[in-house]
């Protein structure tokens, strides 16, 4: 259930067509620089990592709802590009194909023909033929299949489905199907099963081109999946708020008739402390907007995938960070959760007898642990050593208010490790 580009090609020369092919690593660095120039502000991030068999792999993020685009320099002047486009929609698929064609022209890449038997090429055909018509048809075909299969699974008693959400976070939110543009109910699924065209509202980038609708879709994707609904704690969060505010303003100035998330836009401007004429208009529109649940999965709890197959449940308002030492931290202005994967460890460091300590134990289906709880106003901390099979991990939950003891205990006890891991 996807629309995946898998393009293979060979590159020639360095800066000149007849030069000998560059080594994979410097060539891929040149590719990365090209994307920064060609994609501009649409390029949200890039990194070069070690790919299969040690080959350098460039990973690019071009949309908040999309998985990474991978560019592999496979040696002997070979290049392989893979990207999933269904999560974002036809407009994104067309944009990415056009961008890769420009890359090929600029860096002298000869792309291989489509080979359906090997699943190589563009399954819609657009990259090879320039005919955009089949792109929408393929997207709607996949969408109809998704709706049918989710309805079938729900009829068998299964729940908790998500479509096109990035790996690493599972949101607790009501809805038959969670998508990058919000939850959809069973009536929506039934309507889409009968006519997939009725589900076009689930794609953040349906129309071709970089217009107001694509900017609004990008902002809405961020509001639903990334924004933490509180004043920014980190500069990264402040940049996110600014990006959302800029996208919404650009879209509104180009086409004020679109359906804007006025109440959430007002919240973002409030967090940034932004005023002025635009803020006044947003406030006026927000006062006229219909009441109802607000955009934002992270207003509720979220299950986070941690290193080495662990996972934990935290409030969506916590800012997350993976540290260089392999640990993970989530925090806001008054709470923090720290997770450290360990090797073999038998005990927690003994507690100071001068502190108020409560020793606790927990035995879950896959994870057991022992914790010490230190409680003093303004300085509360739970330190737990957790075990899952032969794996060990340290979990430290800090909080200011002693009345949040139950939250700290629940957070520790939510730590789990999938059996497959």
- What angle (nearest 5°) sits at the alpha carbon of residue 122, between those of residues 209 and 194? 75
CA distances, 100 to each of 31, 96, 122, 128, 154 (Å): 11, 6, 12, 11, 39
Residue 100 reports pLDDT greater than 50: yes
For the domain 4-130, what is the CATH code? 3.60.90
Scored b (16 or more CB within 10 A) or e, 53-90 reads eebbbbbbbbbbbbbbbbbbbbeebbbbbebbbbbbbb
> Across the chain, what does the average pLDDT equal?
91
pLDDT above 90 covers a percentage of the chain that reads 80
Using 50, 70 and 90 to split pLDDT, how confident is the model at 419?
A: low
* This prediction's pTM: 0.89
Residue 7 has phi, psi (to 5 degrees) of: -110, 135
Contact (CB, 8 A) for 10 and 110: yes
Residue with the two structure tokens 């989710």:
150
Residue 197 reports pLDDT greater than 50: yes
Distance, CA of 30 to CA of 107 (rounded, Å): 9
Helix and strand counts by DSSP (H, E) for the chain: 10, 20
Q: Give CATH 3.60.90 domain extents, the chain.
A: 4-130
pLDDT in tens, 354-397: 444 568 899 989 999 999 999 888 889 999 999 998 899 999 99
As given in the structure block, the two tokens for residue 330 are: 């989530």
Residue 20 reports pLDDT greater than 80: no
pLDDT value of residue 63 = 96
pLDDT in tens, 150-175: 999 999 999 889 998 988 899 999 88
Q: What is the mean pLDDT of residues 104-109?
A: 94
Which is it for strands 177-179 and 161-162: parallel, antiparallel or unpaired?
parallel
SS3 259: coil
363 contacts: CB under 8 Å, gap ≥ 6: none
Residue with the two structure tokens 């800029």:
246
CA distances, 320 to each of 136, 254, 336, 339, 352 (Å): 36, 34, 10, 11, 30
Using 50, 70 and 90 to split pLDDT, how confident is the model at 326?
A: confident
Helices (H), 226-306: 235-254, 262-272, 277-288
Contact (CB, 8 A) for 56 and 73: yes
Contact (CB, 8 A) for 372 and 364: no
Scored b (16 or more CB within 10 A) or e, 125-150 reads bbbeeeebebbbebbbebbbebbbeb
As given in the structure block, the two tokens for residue 123 are: 């399954």
Distance, CA of 86 to CA of 68 (rounded, Å): 13
Contact (CB, 8 A) for 208 and 202: no
């Amino acid at each position: 259930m996807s629309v995946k580009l898998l393009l293979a090609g060979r590159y020639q020369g360095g800066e000149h067509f007849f030069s000998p092919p560059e080594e994979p690593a410097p060539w891929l660095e040149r590719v990365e620089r090209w994307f920064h120039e060609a994609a501009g502000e649409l390029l949200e991030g890039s990194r070069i990592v070690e790919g299969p068999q040690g080959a350098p792999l460039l990973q690019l993020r071009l949309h908040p709802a999309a998985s990474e685009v991978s560019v592999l320099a496979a040696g002997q002047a070979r290049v392989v590009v893979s990207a999933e486009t269904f999560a974002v929609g036809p407009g994104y698929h067309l944009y990415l194909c056009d961008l890769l064609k420009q890359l090929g022209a600029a860096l002298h890449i000869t792309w291989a023909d489509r080979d359906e038997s090997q699943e190589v090429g563009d399954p819609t055909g657009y990259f090879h033929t320039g005919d955009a018509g089949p792109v929408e048809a393929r997207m709607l075909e996949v969408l109809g299949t998704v709706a049918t299969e989710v309805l079938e699974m729900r009829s068998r008693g299964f729940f908790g489905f998500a479509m096109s959400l990035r790996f690493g976070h599972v949101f607790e939110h009501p809805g038959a199907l969670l998508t990058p543009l919000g939850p959809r109910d069973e009536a929506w699924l039934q309507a889409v099963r009968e006519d997939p065209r009725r589900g076009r509202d689930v794609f953040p980038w349906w129309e071709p081109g970089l217009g107001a609708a694509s900017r609004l879709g990008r902002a809405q994707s961020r509001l639903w999946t990334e924004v933490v609904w509180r004043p920014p704690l980190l500069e990264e969060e402040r940049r996110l708020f600014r990006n959302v505010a800029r996208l919404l303003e650009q879209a509104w100035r180009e086409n004020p008739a679109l359906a804007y998330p006025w109440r959430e836009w007002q919240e973002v401007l409030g967090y940034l402390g932004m005023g002025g004429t635009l803020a006044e208009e947003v406030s006026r529109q927000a006062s006229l907007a219909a009441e109802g649940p607000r955009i934002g999965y992270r207003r509720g709890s979220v299950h986070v995938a941690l290193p080495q197959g662990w996972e934990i449940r935290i409030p969506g308002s916590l800012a997350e960070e993976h540290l260089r030492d392999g640990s993970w931290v989530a925090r806001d202005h008054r709470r923090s959760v720290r997770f450290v994967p360990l090797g073999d460890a038998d005990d927690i460091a003994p507690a100071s007898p001068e502190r108020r300590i409560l020793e606790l134990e927990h035995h879950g289906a896959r994870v057991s642990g022992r914790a010490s709880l230190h409680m003093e106003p303004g300085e509360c901390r739970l330190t737990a050593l957790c075990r899952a099979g032969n794996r060990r991990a340290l979990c430290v939950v800090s909080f200011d208010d002693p009345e949040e003891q139950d939250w700290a205990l629940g957070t520790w006890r939510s730590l789990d490790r999938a059996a497959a891991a």
